[in-house]
Structure 1
Amino acid sequence: MDPSVLPEKHLEQLNSGSCWPSVMLSLAARTLHIGASCCQGGRRFIATVISGNKTSRLVRERLKKQVEKMKSEFSGFRPSLVVLQVGDRDDSNLYISTKLKAAAEIGIDAKHVRLPKTATQDEVLQNIMSVNENASVHGLIVQLPLDSLNQMDSELVTNAVSPDKDVDGLSCINAGKLSRGDLKDCFIPCTPNGCMELIRQTGVSVAGKHAVVIGRSKIVGAPMHDLLLWSHATVTTCHSKTPDLPEQVSRADILVVGAGKAEMVRGEWVKEGALVIDCGINHVPDETKASGKRVVGDVHYASANQRAGFITPVPGGVGPMTVAMLMENTVKLEHWKVDIEAQINTHKSFIVFLPV
C-alpha cells in the first residue's frame, strides 16, 4: 500500500459507515504516528494525500443511488437544476460542462441558460425571477463572474436567487443562517462544504482542534470559518493584514488555505502532523508543459507534504468536491420538497369535516 495515498477501501468504509471502529483506529494510529514522528531516525515521513477525485466519486455514486431510490418510491421525484450564465468565458464554459456532466450521471435534470454579453442587469434579474417562480426547478446557479459589456452588481444578482433555490449557498440569507449555526436550515457553499467532507474522510476530529483559515472571501474563507467554528474548533482567520502569518500557521492543527496566491504557504510554516486543505487554483509558468503553465495551490506542496499528516493535492483535491457538493445540495432540496409534501398529505388524511 502506498503510504502517500489515503486507501480507497478506507474511504469507502468511512463513507458507508461500515467497519467504522477498525478504520478509525487505523487512521488514528497513522495520524498519531505521522504527527509524533514526522522525522525519525533521519527518515522523513510523507503526508497522506486526501484524494478529492476518489471522495467526490464516492459522493456522486451515493447520490445516484439516492436519486434512483427516490424515483422508484415517488413517481414525481425529479431533482432539477438551472445554470444561468452571462457571456461566453472559456473557464466558465469548462466549469459549467463539468456541472452538467455530473448532474446527468446522478440523474439530475440540468439546463444551461446562456445570456449574451450584451445582456443588461435587468434582463439577468428577470431571468432569475422567472426561474424562482418555476416550481419545477429546484436549484439555480448564477455562474460567476458575470461576463457582460454592461455594469453588473454581482452581489445584487446573487441575492436575487431565491434562498430556497440557492444551491450555491451564496445568498445573504443562507450566509446569515450559516453564521448563526443553522446548518440544517440552509445551503452551505459548495467549496467549504467539500473541504469539510474531505476532513471527515480522514477520521480526524475537528472538535477541540485549533484551526487556521487563510482568506476571508464570501465563497470560501468566511463560510469555512463558520463551519469549523460550529464543528467546535477554535478558529483563527488570517488575511492580508494579519501580522506574522508563519506564526499563526505553525499553531494550526487544521489549516485551510484559500488566499488566491500561488504557493504562499511554505512547508516550514506547517505544524508537524497538521491536516492541510488547499483551496487554491493558480497558474504558474512551466516550460515543460505544452500549455506553458501548470496548476498549483496556495500551499507549497513539495515542502508541506514533508511535515503535514494529511494534505490535499492541487489539482485533484478540493476542486472535484465543489461540484459533488453542488449536486448534494440539489438532491437535498428535492428531498426536502418530498418530505414536506408527504407531511402535508399525512395531515390532510386526518382532517375531519364536522356538520354545521
Structure 2
Amino acid sequence: MQILDGKKTAKTILNTIKIDVAQRATTGKKVPHLAAILVGANGASQTYVNSKVRTCNEIGFNSTMIEYEEDISEMKLLDKIQELNEDLSVDGILVQLPLPAHISEKKVIEAIAVAKDVDGFHPENIGRMIMGEEEAFVPATPYGIMLLLEHNNITTKGKHAVVLGRSNIVGRPMSILLSNNSNPGNCTVTVCHSKTENLNEICSQADIIVAAIGQAEFLQPEMVKDGAVVIDVGITRIPDDSKKSGYRLVGDVDFDKVAPKCSFITPVPGGVGPMTIAALMKNTYKSCTEKD
C-alpha cells in the first residue's frame, strides 16, 4: 500500500506555477489575479477561501477577498460578479459554495464570465469538458484528482473505475474525465449513488474507486478488491475526545480498514484537498496566460 500524497504533489505543481509567475513578473507580463467571494460566516467555507487566498499569495498571484453578510441580496451579489467580469485586472472569479437559501446558486454560477470561471462550474465549461476541448476550465476537485493520478503515474487505461456520488461538482465530471480518451483516462466507468443496487458487488469489481458520496467512512473493506486504487474526496468532522479540538477529520473511506487492501490510497486530510487548490491555481494561471 502506498499513500497518494496530495500535499506533496500539490506542492510540486504550485512550485512550478510560482516559478512561471516570477518569470512573467520579471518580464513585465501580467501576473494572475483571483477574486474570491464569501457569503456568510460558514466556518468550513471561510477556511477553504482563506486557504485559496493564502496559496495565491505564496505563489505570486494577486488576490482579492470579498466578504458579504449572509443576508446580502441576490441582486447585489450578481451586480458584484458583473463588476468583476468587466474588471480587466481579474483573471479568475470564484464564489464559495454553498450559498444561503435565498440566493440561486444556478444564477450565480451562470453569471460568472466563462473565461473567468476558474471553478469550472459554468454550463459552457461543463459542455466543453464533455467535448474534450482543451480550453475548458475543468471543475477543480475532479481536475485535481486527475493531476494526482498523472503525477503519480497511476495506470488508468482499460481499468474499471467506480465513482461513488453523482454531484455536478465532483461525481459527474469525474466520471467524464476518467472515461475520456486521454491519459489519465480511458477507463470504463460506473457511477453509483443512493439508488444503486448491489453496491458492494459493483465496488468490489473496481480497479479504481473515487468515493465522493458525502458519508463518513462509508467505504468498507468488503467493498474493495485487493490492489485497488482508492481516492477519498469526502471530509467530515466526527467527535473525538482524545483530540484537543474535540473532533477529528475522516473521509468517505474507512481508512484504517481499507488501506491494507489498496495499492494506492489518498489520506484525509492531505489527499484530494490540496490538489483541489492546486487545480484552481492552474485554471487561474491558464486564464491569465490565454490573454497573452
The two structures have a TM-score, normalised by structure 1, of 0.79
Partner letter of residue 278 of structure 1? D
Structure 1 distance, partners of 2:2, 2:20, is 30
Aligned to 1:26: none
Give ranges in structure 1 of 5+ residues lacking alignment: 1-46, 339-356
Which of 95, 108, 112 lines up with 1:161 in the alignment? 112
Deviation, structure 1 residue 268: 2.1
**Greater mean alpha carbon deviation, residues 249-258 or residues 85-94:** 85-94
1:187 maps to amino acid: F
Name the count of aligned residue pairs. Answer: 288
Instruction: Report what 1:98 is aligned to.
Output: 51
CA distance in 2, matches of 1:222, 1:326: 18
Partner secondary structure for residue 31 of structure 2: coil
Q: Which of 282, 293, 318 in structure 1 is aligned with 2:236?
A: 282
Separation of aligned partners in 1, 2:43 and 2:202: 37
**Which residue matches 2:259?**
305
Q: Which runs of 4+ in 1 moved over 2 A?
A: 70-73
Deviation track 1:18-61 (CA, whole Å, cap 9, x = no partner) reads xxxxxxxxxxxxxxxxxxxxxxxxxxxxx100111111111110
Give the SS at the match of 2:70: coil
1:136 to 89, 100, 105: 89
Q: Map 1:30-179 onto structure 2 (within 5 A).
A: 47-73=1-27, 75-147=28-100, 151-179=102-130
Counterpart for residue 202 of structure 2: 248
Contact 1:272 1:308 in 2 (8 A): yes
Secondary structure of the equivalent of 1:185?
Answer: coil
Aligned partner (choices 250, 254, 260) of residue 296 of structure 1:
250
Unaligned ranges ≥5, structure 2: none
Q: Is 1:204 paired with 2:164?
A: no
Give 3-state SS (helix, strand or coil) of 1:146's partner.
coil
Q: 1:267: Cα distance to partner? A: 1.4
Q: Give the distance between the partners of 1:282 and 1:90, measured in 2 at CA.
A: 13
Q: Distance in 1 between matches of 2:217 and 2:41?
A: 30
List per-residue Cα deviations over 1:85-126 (Å, max 9, x = no partner). 212222222111111110011111000011222210010100
Q: Is the contact made by 1:267 and 1:301 (CA closer than 8 Å) also made in structure 2?
A: no
Contact 1:194 1:322 in 2 (8 A): yes
Q: CA RMSD in A?
A: 1.2
CA distance in 1, matches of 2:251, 2:40: 27
Structure 2 CA distance for aligned equivalents of residues 263 and 82 of structure 1: 34
- Taking only the aligned residue pairs, the percentage that are identical comes to 41
Q: CA deviation at 1:312?
A: 0.3
Distance in 2 between the 1:287 and 1:79 partners?
43
Rounded to whole Å, the distance in 2 between the matches of 1:307 and 1:90 is 35
Query: Equivalents in 1 of 2:160, 2:287: separation in Å?
Result: 33
Secondary structure of the structure 1 residue equivalent to 2:94? strand
Which SS does the other structure have where 2:257 is aligned?
helix
Q: Residue type of the partner of 2:67?
A: R
What displacement does 1:238 show?
0.4
Larger radius of gyration: 1
Distance 1:280 1:92 in 2: 15
TM-score by length of 2: 0.96
